[in-house]
Amino acid sequence: MIKTKRVVHGEQKIPFYSGYVGSFNGTSDYTNISDDSSLRLVNKITIMAWIYPKYYGDALRDIVVKSPTSAWPTANYRLGVTANGTILFVHGDGSSYEANESSSNVQLMLWQCITVTNNGIYINGEIDKSFTLIGEWYTDTSPLRIGVNPTNNSINVFNGLIAIVIIWNDYILSNSQIKKAYNNPYDPPKKDKIVLWLTGNTIDTSAGTWYDLSQYKNNGTIYGMTKTSIAREQEVVVG
> pLDDT tens digits for 75-90?
999 999 999 999 999 9
Arithmetic mean of pLDDT, 227-231: 84
> pLDDT tens digits for 6-65?
334 444 556 656 789 999 999 999 999 999 999 999 999 999 999 999 999 899 999 999
Question: Of 140, 160, 131, which Cα lies nearest the Cα of 45?
Answer: 131
> Residue 198 is inside which H or E element, if any?
strand 194-199
pLDDT-derived band of residue 232, with 50, 70 and 90 as boundaries? low
- At residue 136, the 3 state secondary structure works out as coil
Distance from the Cα of residue 220 to its chain's centroid: 14
Q: Is the pLDDT of residue 196 over 90?
A: yes
pLDDT at 155: 87
| Burial per residue of 115-135, b for 16 or more beta-carbon CB atoms within 10 angstroms, e otherwise | bbbebbbbbbbeebbeeebee
Q: Is the pLDDT of residue 123 over 90?
A: yes
pLDDT at 154: 85
Q: Is the pLDDT of residue 239 over 90?
A: no
pLDDT at 185: 85
Arithmetic mean of pLDDT, 210-236: 85
pLDDT at 5: 33
pLDDT at 6: 34
DSSP of 204-217: ETTTTEE---STT-
pLDDT at 16: 57
For 190, list phi and psi in degrees, rounded to 5.
Answer: 50, 55
Arithmetic mean of pLDDT, 185-203: 95
pTM: 0.91
Domain covering 4-238, topology:
Jelly Rolls (2.60.120)
Q: Is the pLDDT of residue 227 over 60?
A: yes
Q: Residue ranges of the alpha helices (H) in 10-141? A: none
> Residue 80 is inside which H or E element, if any?
strand 77-81
pLDDT at 15: 64
Whole-number percent of the chain with pLDDT over 70: 89
- Delimit the domains of the chain by residue range: 4-238
Arithmetic mean of pLDDT, 186-191: 94
Please tell me the distance from the alpha carbon of residue 27 to that of residue 143, in angstroms, as a whole number.
20
Question: Of 160, 156, 144, which Cα lies nearest the Cα of 198?
Answer: 144
Q: Is the pLDDT of residue 153 over 90?
A: no
Whole-number percent of the chain with pLDDT over 90: 81
- At residue 134, the 3 state secondary structure works out as coil
> pLDDT tens digits for 92-107?
999 999 999 999 999 9
pLDDT at 230: 81
> Residue 177 is inside which H or E element, if any?
helix 175-183
Q: How far is CA 38 from CA 63, 143, 159, 192, 223, in A?
A: 19, 12, 28, 12, 23
